[in-house]
């Protein structure tokens, strides 16, 4: 999201948001925090990063620690690739990487072939969407070579998509955007569901499959939970507040034990428009009261897209409640192409990054969610009902009722889940909450008054069913000031992010309390970069460390794989984004190895294994964006219109298309 993130910085609403008062800060120094967080147990395990460890123990101790880790077996059986920056992808030796689906690829028997010079909304709705993000694989009859692939399409880079545009539009007042281009953008958002079959090292799409489907901002979606039917969800087109049209900014997500797909609506505020953008009195001020507070807290209208110029419902002057209908978790049944997806409002409304589920030991389903904005929170939903392996239909209501919690991380390494329940102290009319509908619609405001911990952009929150822990990717926050650090977010100007490991009390994902510690502080651990204050196992090589953790997955052995999104931070780290195997247990805990690297300017999303771990699906998002202007064909207005002049070899691939790639092992077998 870097391009949009940049604009977010510039937008007045976003600036106001970023300057909002934060929860009281501890005021501790980093030194205080290190001493508090790295207790004797950590010292015994050699858990410090190179810089901190060198400072405190000297090189001899460090060498001994590295030797211990080096002697321990490496659980990731692949030869690490080299970190670096170039315009192509790289995968570990002995593996085969092939694009399976690229933006514009046909999905149905009557889909037009991709032609960047003849784009229409109608053709885009029959083709693979843009900027692929989360990926989930659903086996058919338990197979790891035949199944359904679900893929999110998060947003669009209009200057890379449309040859008719001369420049980025969001920074220039959308001067060149037409209704036709907006409609193509809308059609390029949403979700793709497609049947796929493995054939040797590669996979192919079954174009005439009855499962194939595109879901978009135009698809009818249902809604349940506390906000369904509430006044604040009603619009001119939907007098009952239960018939929402569309889903958008589908970022990460999850899959449920009963075989449904969860797609997370992230930067929904971005799509809303006002005709008063230059007026002194902004729409939020006009509205007054709680709606004004809500707009301000969520950065509505974000003005990142021109949709509201042509579609009234995205103009908050015309339809002030429409923003309340986005920012939810949506459940989709991929096995029924006629099913109506459902927005589950019980899981709260915010910039949802993902929705990873775990089946708790008591049969309740727990969903972990991050709110990916600087200074926002980590959430957890616990279902009221229990999973029944024999009743899929009943399971599909499990996310309709339950309790939403927000996390508070205390400096002593413990933490507490704070329930967001109407009627509890502070969640009352006196504080602007008239019902549970208000609490979930304004989950951020509810979390504010409960004193949750403001985090450094929570992305994927990944439970590990093998070791019972939960891994929270905090991608970065370069706006955190020195007097705003806390134990869980210990670095000011945090350019490189960190990962927190959370252990539910008693191994119970529904427990009120947990313990936590920082697994890694990302960035370069070399002593020359001691100012970065990175934390890795010293066994991590110069190629293995990473920055800006975004998505992750856990494989069948309980090993953590982390995908990165540095935005234009690749220029600071000297490495394009990629996929890393990260050890979480044993003497090699905190050791990271690089497995895959994307073309520069892309972020890596998705990581998803088939159940047999013989195929890995990865989503390469927005190659050619993020500060790559000086590179051949990258970061520039689309060059599709100049195939015969400047870059004759690259008619289709400059800029490269966002794509989902498959990785298999040459000669067969499990990955790593
Ligand atoms: Fe869409 Fe938070 O990444
Ligand atoms: Ca993400
Ligand atoms: Ca994940």
Select the more confidently predicted residue: 286 or 514.
Answer: 514
* 254 alpha carbon – ligand 3 mean position (Å): 7
Ligand 1 pocket, residue 372 CB under 6 Å? yes
- Does the CB atom of residue 266 touch ligand 1 within 6 A? yes
CA 614–ligand 2 middle distance (angstroms): 25
**b/e sequence 541-578, b meaning 16+ C-beta within 10 Å:** eebbbbbbbbbbbbbeeebbbbbbbbbbbbeebebbbb
Q: Which ligand is nearest to the CA of 253?
A: 3
Higher pLDDT residue, 38 or 520?
520
Question: What is the C-alpha separation between 266 and 294, in angstroms, rounded?
Answer: 16
Residue 43 confidence (pLDDT): 27
pLDDT at 288: 64
| Sign for the pseudo-dihedral over CA of 602, 309, 185, 149 | positive
Phi and psi at 651, nearest 5°, equal -55, -45
In this model, does residue 28 exceed pLDDT 70? no
Identify the burial level of 109 via C-beta atoms within 10 angstroms of its C-beta, where 0-12 means exposed, 13-18 middle and 19 or more buried. Answer: exposed
Encode 510-523: b = buried (16+ Cβ within 10 Å), e = exposed: beeebebbbbbbbb
Predicted pLDDT at 66 = 59
CB of 251 closer than 6 angstroms to any ligand 1 atom = yes
The residue among 3 and 532 whose pLDDT is bigger is 532
Tokens 């001369």 correspond to what residue?
166
Residue 284 CB–ligand 1 contact under 6 Å: no
- Between 53-62, 102-111, 205-214, 585-594, the lowest mean confidence (pLDDT) is in 53-62
Confirm or reject: Cβ of 501 under 6 Å from ligand 1. Answer: no
pLDDT tens for 263-306 read 999 999 999 999 987 766 666 666 667 788 899 999 999 999 99
Report the pLDDT value the prediction gives residue 276, as an integer from 0 to 100: 85
Torsion on CA atoms 279, 9, 460, 623, rounded to nearest 10: 110
**Exposed (0-12), middle (13-18) or buried (19+): which is 666, by Cβ within 10 Å?**
exposed
Cα(252) to ligand 1 centroid in Å equals 7
> DSSP letter string over 355-399?
-EEEE-TTSEEEEEEEB-SBT--EEEEEEEEE--TT-HHHHTTTT
Structure confidence by residue, pLDDT tens digits, 224-271:
999 999 999 999 999 999 999 999 999 999 999 999 999 999 999 999
Task: Note the pLDDT of residue 163.
Answer: 82
Locate tokens 């545009």: which residue?
A: 165
3-state SS class at 293: helix
pLDDT tens figures, 599-611: 888 999 999 999 9
**Average model confidence (pLDDT) across the chain:** 87
Distance separating alpha carbons of residues 100 and 115, to the nearest angstrom: 18
CB 154 near ligand 1, within 6 Å: yes
Which ligand is in closest contact with the Cα of 472? 3
Asked if the model's pLDDT at residue 641 lies above 80, the reply is no
Q: Give yes or no for residue 459 CB within 6 A of ligand 1.
A: yes
333 lines ligand 1 (CB under 6 A): no
Peptide bond preceding 646: is omega within 30 degrees of 0, i.e. cis?
no
Question: What pLDDT is recorded for position 486?
Answer: 98
Percent pLDDT > 90 in the chain is 76
Closest ligand to the CA of 155: 1
Between 635 and 388, the more confident residue is 388
Alpha carbon nearest to ligand 1 atom 1, residue: 251
**487 Cα–ligand 3 center, Å:** 24
Confirm or reject: Cβ of 474 under 6 Å from ligand 1.
Answer: no
Q: Is 619 helix (H, G, I), strand (E, B) or coil?
A: strand
Dig out the tokens for 506 from the structure: 């008693």
141 phi and psi angles, rounded to 5 deg: 50, 40
Q: How many helices (H) and strands (E) does the chain have?
A: 16, 29
Of the pLDDT bands very low, low, confident and very high (cuts 50, 70, 90), residue 50 is very low
Percent of the chain whose predicted confidence (pLDDT) is above 70:
84
Average pLDDT over residues 51-63: 43
Query: How far is it, in rounded angstroms, from Cα 558 to Cα 556?
Result: 5
Does residue 579 register a pLDDT over 80?
yes
- pTM summary value: 0.89
DSSP assignment letter at 532: G
Given a contact cutoff of 8 angstroms between Cβ atoms, the answer to whether 356 and 347 are in contact is no
CA angle 116, 137, 610 (to 5 degrees): 120
Q: Which phi and psi (to 5°) does residue 429 adopt?
A: -55, -35
pLDDT at 70: 63
Measured from the CB, is residue 604 less than 6 Å from ligand 1? no
- CB hemisphere CA count around 512 (13 angstroms): 3
Q: Work out the burial of residue 538: count CB atoms within 10 Å of its CB; fewer than 13 is exposed, 13-18 middle, 19 or more buried.
A: buried
Output the six-digit token pair for 106. 């046909």
Residue-wise pLDDT tens digits, 377-399: 999 999 999 999 999 999 999 99
Residue 369 Cβ contacting ligand 1 at under 6 Å: no
Q: Is the CB of 356 under 6 A from ligand 1?
A: no
CA of 474 to the centre of ligand 1 (A): 11
Answer for the pair 404, 313: CB distance below 8 angstroms, yes or no: no
**How far apart are the CA of 550 and the centre of ligand 2, in A?**
5
The candidate with the shortest Cα–Cα distance to 103, out of 198, 248, 220, 214, is 214
Number of the ligand closest to the Cα of 619? 2
Q: What is the pLDDT of residue 67?
A: 60
Ligand nearest to the CA of 250: 1
How far does the centroid of ligand 2 lie from the alpha carbon of residue 617, in Å?
16
**Confidence class for position 171, pLDDT limits 50, 70, 90:** confident
Q: How does 606-628 read in b/e, with b if 16+ C-beta sit within 10 Å?
A: bbbbbeebbbbbbbbbbbbbbbb
Q: What is the DSSP letter of 24?
A: P
């Amino acid at each position: 999201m870097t391009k949009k993130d940049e604009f977010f910085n510039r937008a007045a609403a976003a600036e106001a948001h970023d300057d909002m008062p934060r929860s009281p800060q501890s005021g501790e120094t980093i030194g205080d925090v290190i001493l508090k967080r790295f207790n004797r147990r950590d010292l015994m395990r050699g858990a410090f990063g190179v810089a901190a460890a060198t400072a405190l123990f000297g090189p001899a101790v460090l060498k001994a620690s590295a030797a211990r880790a080096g002697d321990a077996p490496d659980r990731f059986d692949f030869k690490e690739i080299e970190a670096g920056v170039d315009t192509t992808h790289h995968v570990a030796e002995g593996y085969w990487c092939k694009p399976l689906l690229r933006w514009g690829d046909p999905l149905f028997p009557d889909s037009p072939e991709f032609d960047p010079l003849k784009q229409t909304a109608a053709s885009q709705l029959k083709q693979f969407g843009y900027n692929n993000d989360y990926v989930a694989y659903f086996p058919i009859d338990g197979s790891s070579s035949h199944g359904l692939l679900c893929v999110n399409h998060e947003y669009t880079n209009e200057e890379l998509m449309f040859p008719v545009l001369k420049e980025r539009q969001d920074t220039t007042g959308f001067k060149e955007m037409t209704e036709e281009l907006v409609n193509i953008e809308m059609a390029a958002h949403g979700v793709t569901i497609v049947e796929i079959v493995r054939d040797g090292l590669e996979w192919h799409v079954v174009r005439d499959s009855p499962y194939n489907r595109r879901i978009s901002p135009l698809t009818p979606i249902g809604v349940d939970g506390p906000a369904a039917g509430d006044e604040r969800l009603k619009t001119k087109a939907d007098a009952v507040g239960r018939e929402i049209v569309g889903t958008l900014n589908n970022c990460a997500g999850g899959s449920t034990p009963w075989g449904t797909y969860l797609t997370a609506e992230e930067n929904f505020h971005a799509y809303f428009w006002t005709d008063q953008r230059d007026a002194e009195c902004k729409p939020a001020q006009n509205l007054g009261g709680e709606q004004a507070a809500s707009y301000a807290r969520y950065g509505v209208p974000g003005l990142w897209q021109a949709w509201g110029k042509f579609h009234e419902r995205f103009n908050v002057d015309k339809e002030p409640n429409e923003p309340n209908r986005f920012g939810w978790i949506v459940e989709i049944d991929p096995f029924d192409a006629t099913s109506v997806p459902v927005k589950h409002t019980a899981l709260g409304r915010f910039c949802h990054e993902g929705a990873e589920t775990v089946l708790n030991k008591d049969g309740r389903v727990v969903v972990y969610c991050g709110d990916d904005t600087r200074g926002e929170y980590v959430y957890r939903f616990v279902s009221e009902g229990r999973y029944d392996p024999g009743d899929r239909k009943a399971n599909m209501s499990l996310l309709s009722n339950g309790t939403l919690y927000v996390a508070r991380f205390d400096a002593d390494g413990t933490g507490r889940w704070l329930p967001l329940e109407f009627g509890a102290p502070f969640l009352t009319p006196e504080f602007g909450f008239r019902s549970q509908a208000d609490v979930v619609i304004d989950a951020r405001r509810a979390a504010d008054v409960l004193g949750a911990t403001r985090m450094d952009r929570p992305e994927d929150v990944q439970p590990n069913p093998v070791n019972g822990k939960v891994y929270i990717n905090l991608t970065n926050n370069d706006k955190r000031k020195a007097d705003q650090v806390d134990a869980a977010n210990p670095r000011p100007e945090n350019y490189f992010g960190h990962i927190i490991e959370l252990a539910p009390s008693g191994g119970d994902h529904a427990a009120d309390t947990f313990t936590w510690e920082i697994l890694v502080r990302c960035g370069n651990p070399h002593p020359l970069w001691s100012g970065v204050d990175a934390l890795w196992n010293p066994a991590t090589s110069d190629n293995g460390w990473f920055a800006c953790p975004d998505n992750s997955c856990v494989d069948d052995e309980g090993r953590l794989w982390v995908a990165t999104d540095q935005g234009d931070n690749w220029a600071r780290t000297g490495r394009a984004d990629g996929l890393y195997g990260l050890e979480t247990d044993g003497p090699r805990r905190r050791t990271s190895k690089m497995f895959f690297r994307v073309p520069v300017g892309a972020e890596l999303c998705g990581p998803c294994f088939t159940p047999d771990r013989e195929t890995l699906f990865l989503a390469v998002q927005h190659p050619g964006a993020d500060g790559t202007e000086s590179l051949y064909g990258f970061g520039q207005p689309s060059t599709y219109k100049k195939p015969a002049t400047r870059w004759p070899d690259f008619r289709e691939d400059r800029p490269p298309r966002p794509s989902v790639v498959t990785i298999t092992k040459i000669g067969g077998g499990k990955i790593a």
